[in-house]
Amino acid sequence: MSGLVEIRDVSKRYVRGRQTVEVLHHISLDIQQGDFLALMGPSGSGKTTLLNLIGGLDAPTSGSITVGGQRIDTLGGNALAKWRAAHVGFIFQFYNLLPMLTAQKNVEVPLLLTKLSAAQRRQNAKIALQLVDLADRGTHKPSELSGGQQQRVAIARAIISDPTLLVCDEPTGDLDRQSAEEVLMLLQLLNREHGKTIIMVTHDPRAASHATHTLHLEKGTLAEASVAA
């Protein structure tokens, strides 16, 4: 059975001066449409590296990555950028919002790369903000929002162009328990109600418990696969 994301024999090596470090070793993995995958593992095990490869932010040293039937490991910089814009929503530990723009404008940024009119962009951003329960915070700058609210703005931005995949790197890593729970519930909702495929790196077993699957990465190798509740 082939998945939405097919990772075949992927290795990633970094060259640092004379030293070559292999961070990922021959990883093969399928992620199905509608999965909510939690990726766990000790610090330095290569979680972020793997996530960046799946999200098309970096290219593997060897092996192939196919998403929705398209090889992304062979795409060039521009094609990869366009592919990301169309297919991936990113959520980071530190939100990565643009500090000078309001929440509403932040959410609109990915739509600048589409053909949508200004009015349509505004409309869509409003809907996305509603979905993350921040309809009344559209005019606020990130500095005027709490961490949890900022992360929800980031989620709204990630889903605005209806991507194939949501890629999250420790989305609750910087949040208190309450806010973390809200964010996780939101991701779960997006997964269950909207059928979004989500890949989430986390250190927190509680966060992982919201996922449908959990994988462990140890020193660049997938250690163990388990199916959560």
Partner 1 sequence: MKYLHLVWAALMRRKSRTVLTILSVLAAFLLYGLLDAVRVAFNSGGTIAGVDRVVVSSKYSIIQSLPESLVARVAATPGVRKVTWANWFGGYYQQPRNQLINFAIGADYFDVYPDYGVTPAMADALARTRTGVLVGKTLADRFGWKVGDKLPVMGSIFPDKATGETTWIFDIVGIYEAPDAASRALEQQVLLNWKYFDEANAYGSGQVGWLVVQVSDPQRSAAVAAAIDALSANSDHETKTQTEQEFNLSFARQMGDIGLIVTAIIGAVFFTLMLLTGNTMAQAVRERIPELATLKTLGFTDRSVLALVFLESLLLILIGGVLGMALAAALLPVVSAASGGMLLLPPISAASWAIGIALMIAIGAIVGVLPALRAMRLRIVDALAGR
Ligand X SMILES: Nc1ncnc2c1ncn2[C@@H]1O[C@H](COP(=O)(O)OP(=O)(O)OP(=O)(O)O)[C@@H](O)[C@H]1O
Residue numbers of the site for ligand X (CB under 6 A)? 14, 16, 21, 23, 41, 43-49
With CB under 8 A as the rule, give the number of residues binding partner 1. Answer: 27
49 binds Mg ion (CB under 5 A): no
Three-state SS annotation for 141-202: CHHHCCHHHHHHHHHHHHHCCCCCEEEEECCCCCCCHHHHHHHHHHHHHHHHHHCCEEEEEC
Minimum CB separation from partner 1 for residue 86, in Å? 7
Q: Does 23 bind partner 1 (CB under 8 A)?
A: no
Partnered with residue 208 across adjacent β-strands are none
Q: Which does 135 bind (CB under 5 to 8 A by kind): partner 1, ligand X, Mg ion, none?
A: none
Q: Report d(CA 86, CA 110) in Å as an integer.
A: 9
Question: Of residues 6, 22, 58, 181, which one binds partner 1 by CB under 8 A?
Answer: 58
The minimum distance between CB 142 and ligand X, in angstroms, equals 23
> What span, in angstroms and rounded, lies between the C-alpha atoms of 171 and 65?
24
**CA separation for the pair 158, 168 (Å, rounded):** 10
Place of tokens 């192939």: 64
Out of 24, 29, 73, 90, point to the residue binding partner 1 (CB under 8 A): 90
Q: How far apart are the first and last CA of the chain?
A: 22
Among 1, 17, 43, 77, binds partner 1 (CB under 8 A): 77
Cβ-proximal residue to ligand X, closest one: 48
The residue length of the chain stands at 229
Report what 189 binds from partner 1, ligand X, Mg ion, none; CB cut-off 5-8 Å by kind: none
Q: Is 48 in the site for Mg ion (CB under 5 A)?
A: yes
202 binds Mg ion (CB under 5 A): no
Decide if residue 81 touches partner 1 (CB under 8 A): yes
